[in-house]
Chains A and B, each alone.
Chain A
Amino acid sequence: MKMNTTILEVQNLKKYYKPHGGIFSAFTGKENVIPAVDDVSFYIKEKETMGLVGETGCGKTTIGRTVLKLTPATAGKIIFDNTDITHLSAAQFRPLRKQLQMIFQDLDAALNPKMRIKAILKEALKVHRRLSDAEMDRRISELLEMVNLKKSKLSNFPNELSGGEKRRVGIARTLAVGARFIVADEPTSALDVSIQAQVVNLLRDLQKELSLSYLFISYDLRVVELISHKVAVMYLGQIVEMGMAGRIANAPRHPYTAVLWSSLVEKKSNESIKNAGNPNESQWGVFDFERPSTGCRFAPRCPVYHANGHPTICTDPATSPQLRKLDAAHQVRCHFPL
């Protein structure tokens, strides 16, 4: 693959949320924070797609939002196109904003129900550039062609469109302003398989045509593997494994990645990993963000930890695993990689 320049780099990004403590915590003076994103670093090159996978609540969407400065970062650095955008003010950031766009997860919430499709696209065009009416119309029909949307839909309201069409409008809107980097937050999760395939193909076509870079957030592992060049797997706010998509999917080194991939119903034949899954079911899906277990956060659910007879290195806070390089393009956060 031809190597391009880095378009986005994230260094040690942290996003902590402070829950509403109420009157009681004011007296105890205890500061409880939820580390939604905890020390995450990665980079995305031009024309590259990075997939971000993980379970609900692991911080995928928070990363997407923080990178686009939709929510301020607690610590760390976000560098877009050699500019540090972490601490730019809204006015300073405005010229860059059009290059960094997001495709939102919720189809219905992202489109104003009282605006016709044409008005929605027009608004996006107007915000960043001043165009004459004729130019505007030309640009809109150009956009429609790009996302394969019928012209007749322009006069419709969002609720008159199907899920796939709404998604196309969302994509067209990000393209309207001339985005170069797009955070796609679960773009296919609310769609049927047949429509999902259309959207995935569209996103890949657009990437080739317009040299876009994506941060593709999804819990659909197959789609992520298909569309991404590299994949980062997240668990409780941390990246536990990162590498080329094919490697992560076919030869995962972190136990969590293995569990995640084996959970695909289709790949049920992979019984060995499945059976190694944690017998203690109550741990599944119940995360206590406020008190992450000491040491490795995945240890309570980890099949390797249980198989190895609960080694203390996994739970000791002093030796909590760091993301380390296995080779040039593969990093893993585990003491006992598979």
Chain B
Amino acid sequence: MTTGPILKIEDLRTYFYSRSKQAFNRAVDGVSLALKKGETLGIVGESGSGKSVTALSVMGLVTAEPGIITGNIGLKTNGVQKNLLQDIDDYVKLTRDNARSVAVAKDNPRWQRHVDKVMRGVRGKEISMIFQNPKVSMNPFSSVGRQIREAIMLNTSINNRKEARERALYWLEHVKIDSPRLRYDNNPYGLSGGMCQRVMIAMALSSEPSVLIADEPTTGLDATIQSKIVSLLGELKSTVGVTTLLISHDIDVIKTLSDRVAVMYGGKVLESGPSKEILSAGQHETHPYTAALLASIPTARQIREKSYLQAIKGDVIDTVNLPQGCRFYARCRQVTKQIKMQCKHQEPELREISHNHKVRCWLYFDE
């Protein structure tokens, strides 16, 4: 067993240039995460908080024209350390002024080629991904079995069709698809949403990746199907033991499945730590944002008494015009008089408040 994290993201910044606004949309703005072997790290946050862009950056899929990406993404597998963003500075240069990026120079076609070269043998093989919309993510003209077989022959040592087919059936069975031999020849549109998601999971696992990224695996499914997929993922966690980066806006899903959690807001991690500690409402000290997020979920008592929900006032932060101070300041309810000026003008650091539990908030600075 290796020590140290398998996947280590350091100071990842992914920006998109908005021509109409003549400014950067700082979708991911300095995110650091570490993923240890066998654990599940959850990322929660509202839409627009940069969860998915973080995942896409790791997969090297943010190469579209206006995308800019800096930082380090270290991947350690079989004792080999790789930086997925190595030499990125040769192609993309950011000029900083006052810690804010102001200008960019980049060489797009060469960058694209470079990323493809680095990611070859990593994407799909070392890191595989489950996308949000299973039906759109599959080829509608090919049977699901063939698509899994293709992935197996491409990404594993199996290069015999028959063997690959058996392997594909093994994985279909593993994700609890009924009568996999029949389903093997089905095209994606012949399957329901829940089954498609199972096939996606089978496909992602079939290459036996070191890291699995699941981007909103339950969103858009019915409540009954959702809970089935959640329990399947929970089972796979114990049987296959794959290291997972789980992204969801559904706090219940993250709480059930992940060991540690990172709460993101406006492109930054506001809080990270053990998920049981952070996501059990009102029992531990948490970031005001996390507390507000948890409070806005209807509780059994609120439903019974038909009381009002505690909404977070205002809207999700606009990552183009970021404020100078804390990103959550405008919506925060726990700003006190003493720290108000700091909150407004100075961004707090991510600081450890108890074992492994880090919070980015002035409330927890004692000075």
Contacts and interface: CB of A to CB of B under 8 A. Distances in A.
Whether both chains belong to one complex is answered with yes
A193 interface: yes
Interface stretch (B118-126, B203-211, B293-301): B293-301
Contact of B315 (A164, A197, A220): A164
A225 B223 CA distance: 14
B297 A265 contact: no
Q: How large is the interface on A (under 10, 10 to 19, 20 to 34, 35 or more residues)?
A: 35 or more
B311 interface: yes
Interface stretch (A8-16, A280-288, A311-319, A321-329): A280-288
Contacts of B256: 265, 268
Given A226-B306, A265-B230, A259 B315 contact: no
Contacts of B192: 284-286
B304 interface: yes
A263 B46 contact: no
Given A219-B222, A285-B192, A193 B227 contact: no
A246 interface: yes
Interface in B196-247: 222-228, 230
Contacts of B306: 226
Interface in B298-349: 298, 302-304, 306, 308-313, 315-316
Contacts of A192: 46-47, 249, 316
Nearest to A224: B303
A323 B261 CA distance: 46
A281 B47 CA distance: 32
- Scoring A223, A259, A263 by chain B CB atoms within 10 A of each residue's CB, the highest score goes to A263
Given A162-B316, A192-B316, A196-B296, A280 B178 contact: yes
Contacts of A281: 176, 178, 228
A285 B297 contact: no
Interface in A194-229: 194-198, 200-201, 204, 219-223, 225-226
A56 interface: yes
Contacts of A165: 315
A249 interface: yes
A284 B224 contact: yes
Contacts of B78: none
21 contacts: A55-B222, A55-B224, A192-B47, A192-B249, A193-B46, A193-B251, A193-B296, A193-B297, A194-B46, A195-B312, A198-B312, A219-B223, A221-B223, A225-B298, A265-B250, A265-B252, A268-B227, A281-B176, A284-B194, A284-B225, A285-B194
Interface of B: 46-48, 176, 178-179, 192-195, 222-228, 230, 249-253, 256, 292-293, 296-298, 302-304, 306, 308-313, 315-316
Given A192-B316, A193-B293, A266-B252, 6 more contacts: A194-B46, A194-B296, A195-B316, A197-B296, A200-B309, A263-B227
